[in-house]
Structure formats: structure tokens, C-alpha cells
Amino acid sequence: MKKIIYSLMFFFLMTSINAQQTPAPKQSNAISIEGATAHLGNGQIIKNSLVMFANGKITFVGSAMAKIARQGTVINAKGKHIYPGFIAANASLGLAEIDAVKATRDFDEVGAMNPHIRSLIAYNAESKVVESMRPNGVLMAQTSPRGGTISGTSSIVQLDAWNWEDAAFKTDDAIHINWPGSFTRGRWWLGEDPALKADPKYGKNIDNIKQYFMNAKNYLASNKEKTHLPYEATKGLFDGTQKVFIHTSGAKEITDAVTICKDLGIKNIVIVHGDGAESVADMLVKNNVGVVLDRPHRNPNNEDDAYDYTYTIAKVLIDKGVLVCLGMEGQMERMNTRNLPFYAGTFAAHGLDKEVALKLLTSNSAKILGIDDKVGTLEVGKDATLFISEGDALDMRGNILTKAYIQGRDISLETHQTKLWKRYANKYKSK
């Protein structure tokens, strides 16, 4: 009887396995896409455009009326739209598959101070969740750790790869810190007052972070008789080759975080979440600090915030001169990352210019992540990471991809979800 049960379990396991689409081969033939409306990702548009790329790099971007020989295969995209590949900042793609199954979750390590923990080596390139990003135009992501005070180190990946080594686009780009809050609520389940009040431990929590980085800085300047891996991992923060992403909200917390990091000699700072950042926008601009905003589809954090605060915060910050992009941390964040373009569309529906909203996923993301020399816009010399959509890619009604390329490679837009859609579409057509 046991043999029968084990055989059945093995059968169901094997029949349920469906690996990600085979990654596309390296580009071998040049491509010319003409007739589409090109959204360059920097706020500019070219109607009736011509975009050409070869060997994974863009070789021409301009008007289709230009008297220039087309290269290789010519794609007629008249009436369609072409965009740079969307980039998801502060996502945890590939670090968990099923939230309810602990064995598939690899984004949160034991311990409070983990700057040496690298999210990249835990990245699952064959994740079904990752696969489902591409049909909506999300072609790159910053895969970031969670948990603790210092969560670990993120890396930037492209979403069509055999393994994490192939996926890596920029390794160990930033260390992530969960900054303590200056207010706290009592634990009502223990009979404590649940009202919001000042946290008496805030100062001590800040001192712990300061002391940790001071110790790391002193270690790096010492003879290093004994290797300390966590301290070694912070070297990039002090020599300027690595950024620090500080996850916090509140004007006081943001100000404290930026001031303390500057005092420690950490210059490349990014604020994640950033509710309340509009109150200290001048300080952020002065110190060249970017903000990775949360998704707009949520309730405001504070009782006195405007009802539409989360929908208008992007425009408010951009109007003040702050560099802003869109992140994905929150509930169901990995699955919801595929909706990245529609969150930007929500900002556009609440006062932000459509092409400026697009920058939240393209040029702004690339600048904040430090990869704008290679991706983020349709420009000659940059990677041919782009896609063709039948309509407006920030609107779910128009976001219908016909082609997508990562570094010039013609990637598959087929996923387990599209297979199920076709299966059941055929089922109901037959009746």
C-alpha cells in the first residue's frame, strides 16, 4: 500500500513540475522596428519611429522617415508602442515562491545585522513568479532581502536566465537597512495601550546602528588580523561603490537617517517607502537622495493624511525636484510585481504626466539603481532591453505585448498563466 501511495505522490509531483521557459539565445540577427510610437523612457516620444539594434545594443533611435538602411529583420509595428523594459526596484522576486510554504521563502535571514548576506545567490531563475513578469513588460528587477535591522545586500537581475549567475546584471548594488521608527504602539494583546506614542528606545536603536557602522569603518581602516565578513561587506558604502537603501517613513526618521549616514561617510543614500518625504524634500534634493515609493494602492499611514495621499505623493515629490521611482515591498509583493506598470498608471491618473509616470519604471529606476549607463531609456549604445505593446503599457487594457527583448535576445512571453488562459479559453469556445 505504501508503494502505491509513494508512486502516486511521485506521479503528481512530476506532472505538476513546469519549469520556466528556456532562456532565449544570444542575438544573432539585427532587428529594425519601424512605425511604432516610441516612448524613450526619459519623457520624450517619437511618433512613427525607427528603432534598430544588433549584438544586444541599440544602434539607432529616430524617425522612420530617416533615410537610413534598415538592419536585419524588419518588424512593422505601425499603430503599436515601443518601450524600454520596465525595472522593478526593491522587489524580492526569486526569493520566495509560495508564501504559505516556508521552505520556498529565502528572503529573511536569522540575525539583526546581516550586511554580508547576498540575496543574489538565493535567486531562483526558474521561479514561476518571475516568469509571469515578462508578459507585462517587467524585464529587470532589484532583488532585495528583507528582515532584521540590516537585511543584507541586493543585486539587479534580468528576468530571462538559466541561473542566478546568468541573471546577474549588477551584483551587490546596495545594502538595505530597516530604520527604527520614533513612534510605537502598545501590544494590545498583552493589555498594553494601543495608542501611538513616542518610542523611548528610538535613540538607543539609532545608536546601535551608528556604533555598528563606526566599528565597521574602524575595522576596514585597521590591519585586519582576523577577517570579519559582515564588516568586510560594508566596504562599498564607504568607498562610494555601493548604495545604502534605508527603509523608513516619517520626516524625523528620514532626516535622522540621511544625517547620520552623511556623518559616517556614506554618501550614496536612497530612501525606501518615504511617507512624509514631501516635508523634507529640500534636504533630499540637496543631498542627492532618491526615493523608492511604495505602491499607491494602499491606505495612508497617518490619520491626518489626505485620502488620496498615496496616489498623489509621486507628483508632489517630483514637483519638488526629488528623484523618484516605484518599489514593490508589501503584501503579495512578488506576485504583484507584474502589476508594476499599472501602479505607475495610477500615479498618472492622479495628476502625474503619463511620460513622467513612465520614468518611475525606466530612467528614474535606472538612475536610482545606478544602471542608467546601460538601461532605462531607448538610446544608442544602451542594451536592447525593450518591448512592443499593442497599446498604452501603463493601462491594463493596452498592455498587450507582442515582442520583448532582453539585451537583444528575443524572449518568450509564454508562461504557466498564459497556458492556462489558452487552455480554458479553448474549453469555453468549444461549447
* C-alpha cell belonging to residue 242: 555601493
Spell out the residues 6+ positions from residue 391 whose beta carbon is closer than 8 angstroms to its own.
80, 81, 397, 398, 399, 400
Query: DSSP string spanning 355-402?
Result: HHHHHTTTHHHHHHHT-TTTSSS--TTSB--EEEESS-TTSTTT--EE
10 Å CB burial of residue 223 (0-12, 13-18, 19+) is: exposed
CA distance 387 to 135: 10
| Helix, strand, coil fractions of the chain, as percent rounded to 5 | 35, 25, 40
- Look at the block and give the residue holding cell 537617517: 257
Query: For position 14, what pLDDT does the model report?
Result: 40
Which of the 8 DSSP states describes residue 190? G
Name which of 299, 247, 311, 254 is nearest 273 in CA terms.
247
* Other Cβ atoms within 10 Å of 234 Cβ, number: 26
| CA pair distance 93, 158, nearest whole angstrom | 11
Give SS3 for 211. helix
Is pTM beyond 0.85? Reply is yes
Give me the residues of the chain with pLDDT under 50, please.
Answer: 1-17
Q: Would you call 282 exposed, middle or buried from its count of C-beta atoms within 10 A (0-12, 13-18, 19+)? A: exposed
- Residue 18: per-residue pLDDT: 52
Domain ranges of the chain: 21-85+376-431, 87-375
CA 332 from centre of chain: 14
420: which residues sit within 8 A by CB, 6+ positions away? none
CATH architecture of 87-375: Alpha-Beta Barrel (3.20)
User: Rounded to whole angstroms, how far apart are CA atoms 183 and 196?
Assistant: 7
Residue 129: what residue type?
A: V
Residue 118, CB half-sphere, CA atoms under 13 Å: how many? 15
> How many helices and strands, by DSSP H and E, does the chain display?
14, 20
What is the C-alpha separation between 13 and 17, in angstroms, rounded? 6
| CA trace torsion 326, 327, 331, 333 (10° rounding) | 110
Assigned C-alpha cell, 173:
548594488
Give the C-alpha distances (Å, rounded to integers) separating 366 from 72, 238, 242, 297.
29, 22, 15, 23
Give residue 15's pLDDT: 40
Output the CA torsion 253→107→135→362 (10° steps).
30
In this structure, what are the phi and psi dihedrals at residue 366, rounded to the nearest 5 degrees? Answer: -60, -40
Distance CA 64, CA 85 (A): 21
pLDDT of residue 430: 57
Residue 7 is predicted with a pLDDT of 44
- Residue tagged 511620460 (cell numbers): 355
As its CATH architecture, domain 21-85+376-431 has Roll (2.30)
C-alpha distance across the termini of the chain, in Å:
41
